[in-house]
Amino acid sequence: MKKLCGVLGLMFLLLIAACGEKGQVMDGDGMIQTFEYTQISQDEAREMMAKDDGHVIVDVRREDEYAEGHIPGAILIPNESIDVDPPKELPDFDQIILVYCRSGRRSKEASQKLADMGYSKVYEFGGIIDWTGDIETGESEPSKDSNDMQDQDALPITEEATDNSNADAENGGDDMGAAKLLYQGHASMRIITAEGKVIYVDPFAGEGYDVPADLILMTHSHYDHTQTDEIATKNPDCETISWVEALSGGQHQNFDLGYVKVEAVEAGYNKNHDVNECVGFILTFSNGVTLYLSGDTSTTPQMNDLAERNLDYAFFCCDGVYNMDVQEAIECAKTVGAKHNIPYHMIPADKTNCFDQSVAESFDVPGRIIVKPGEELVLE
């Protein structure tokens, strides 16, 4: 009888503990249930804001950015403050949460983290730079539960930070604008630079080929990376850099086009992709932001050297059939050490099915961003 009472008591304590996780839902294995966030347009966000449904608008920028101008009614929860524990400002895990930042990058990161914590109704709607509705100024009001976190969440603007900001602007920082990447699916993407130049990479999948091309990049000769006929028109001075030009003379070449610097890097190292006939690319934009595209590959020796580059964004293939699988891609991402890591080329070539959510979610690395076909990523 004593043993039975002890077991029942332990079960009661476990139940209390589970219910005490601020509304987080446990699955059948006792793990916190996670969800996917939903990306919506700003028009859809505006319609949702007009409803009296208890929603909350969350600005995930810095304190100084919020003070300069924010959407009326938005509360401030900086992206960098969203870590392991659920934010005290968001006690209801079933509340509708509308998330935005400056341009759409931090809001995607924050939305993913909130969804991973168990928030079930997270909606991400991009950046305030595209917002056409009302904007108000002023500092954030601390929530009732977060007075003790105010100093921790606010990021003071120090003289050093101001100097760094000015230096960034002089060297092509935010004042230069940011490139926008449209992920089209598989290994295909379209990038529009701050100067308005249009770059297509490995054309094959998805939509968005209607904007005239200024530059076409192709990593190797396989058909699912070379469908240039998908591109509706090309500007008269459009350039093409394929694996042929990138490996001219048997050396990885660099190209400075003014609006972007293109550096060919190693790719291949598996039975389907010869290192002498395949490349990856590192793009450096006019604001200094760097983007690494692995191309079709397995682990390359050069990835160890890339760790010294402090890259901003990195895309890693991970289909596990013709290239490395997710586990190998995770190790590659850890080796390269980019600030933001994105899985792509997750399944063998199929125009009708060029994205796998389960594979994307299993790409468990620091700074992960999941970008679905048709979604944009602002490279800031």
**Which residues carry out catalysis?**
101
In this structure, what are the phi and psi dihedrals at residue 358, rounded to the nearest 5 degrees? -65, -40
Q: How far apart are CA 39 and CA 126, in angstroms?
A: 8
- Residue 182 identity: L
Contact 319, 329 (CB under 8 A): no
- The full DSSP string for 33-76 is P----EE--HHHHHHHHTS-S--EEEE-S-HHHHHH-B-TTPEE
Strand arrangement, sheet containing 179-185:
234-241, 213-217, 198-201, 188-192, 179-185, 376-379
Q: How far apart are CA 280 and CA 219, in angstroms?
A: 6
Cα–Cα distances (Å) from 126 to 74, 98, 160, in that order, read 14, 10, 29
Name residue 377's beta-bridge partners.
181
